[in-house]
Amino acid sequence: MSTQLAWSFLIVAVFIAFSAEGQDAGCAGCHGAQGEGNAQLGAPRIAGQPQPYLERQLAAYADGRRDNPVMGPIAKNLAPEKRSQIAAYFAGLSAPAAKAEPASSSPSPRGKTLATRGDEALKVQACENCHGPGGTGQSGLTPYLAGLHSKYLEAALNEWKGGQRNTDPSLHMTLIGKSLTDADIKALAAYYGSQPPPVNVAAAKPPAATGRDQPTRAGAGTTPAQGIGASGGEATTGGSQGPGGGGAASGAGASGSKSGATP
């Protein structure tokens, strides 16, 4: 039996026990007792990620828009109200930062440029336009990227690139993934993996309801992103451009990649 298959059976078995007992032990088996994540399993940090984002990812695993052999069966066995409870629980956690990544994963100037300014030639705007200054998330809706393990972020971007992840109706994240080279993906993942995770993300609240659903706008946070596109995703330089501004359904974050147990 392969190592990944063995892990899959173990995780599903733990999850079944978790469902029967109504405890978080099943999720903690991969994501950590405080939602701090597990780099070896490919399970991302989910502590403090926005509740709406976590709910969307669980729903996507359940209906197949996110393809993962471990998270798919788990999510399918969760009722919507249970997914909401789990999302609320992890959104309220505050986990300590992980140990610094090894020197081989140190960020390059290219990663920072893509994160903060984008690339005009590739028509890719800055990640910060949607994921906030320093990758700390936006408006309590868009996930933070800072502090997520680089291997997870790399796998997540490759899922967008390869079509295993289809949770952005605007297709911006799909276009971004396909536009980035393998070297760009590694550089960007290393950059965000080297940043400290945000503090008190759980305290961020979504915008007040307006009586009808509103799409999440790039640059909708209260603090303008460094570099381009500080207003509504209408970039002024760098990635003015095309792909970008994926909105709330985009990003890498809380539940899974094919390389490991879950974002």
User: Are 4 and 91 in the same domain?
Assistant: yes
Check: pTM over 0.75? Answer yes or no: no
Say if CB 20 and CB 78 are below 8 A apart. no
Q: What are phi and psi of 213, to 5 degrees?
A: -65, 135
User: Are 74 and 116 in the same domain?
Assistant: no
What pLDDT shows up at residue 165? 93
- The torsion angle over the Cα atoms of residues 22, 253, 167 and 24, rounded to 10 degrees, is 0
User: How many angstroms separate the Cα of 6 from the Cα of each of 22, 52, 70, 244?
Assistant: 24, 31, 11, 38
User: Are 133 and 80 in the same domain?
Assistant: no
Q: pLDDT of the chain along its 263 residues, tens only? A: 444 444 444 444 444 444 433 344 479 899 998 999 999 899 999 999 999 999 999 999 999 999 999 999 999 999 999 999 999 999 999 887 766 566 555 568 999 999 999 999 999 999 999 999 999 999 888 999 999 999 999 999 999 999 999 999 899 999 999 999 999 999 999 999 999 999 854 444 555 555 444 444 444 443 433 333 333 333 333 454 444 444 444 444 444 444 333 34
Task: Choose one of 96, 118, 136: the last residue of a domain.
Answer: 96
Q: Is residue 217 part of a domain?
A: no
Residue type at 111 in one-letter notation: G
Preceding peptide of 241 cis, ω within 30°: yes
What pLDDT shows up at residue 96? 78
Enumerate the β-bridge partners of residue 165. 66
User: Are 147 and 108 in the same domain?
Assistant: yes
User: Are 111 and 79 in the same domain?
Assistant: no
The residue among 129, 137, 126 whose CA lies nearest residue 49 is 137
Domain count for the chain, please give it.
Answer: 2
Phi-psi region of 78 (alpha: psi -120 to 50; beta: other; left: phi over 0): beta
The residue among 47, 205, 229 whose CA lies nearest residue 123 is 229
What pLDDT shows up at residue 118? 97
Local structure of residue 113 (DSSP, 8 states): H
Q: What are phi and psi of 138, to 5 degrees?
A: -135, 130
Rounded Cα gap, residues 176 and 161, in angstroms: 8
Indicate which CATH number applies to the domain containing 164.
1.10.760.10
Residues sharing a CB contact under 8 Å with residue 41, sequence separation 6 or more, in sequence order:
7, 30, 260, 261
Domain that holds residue 22: 1-96
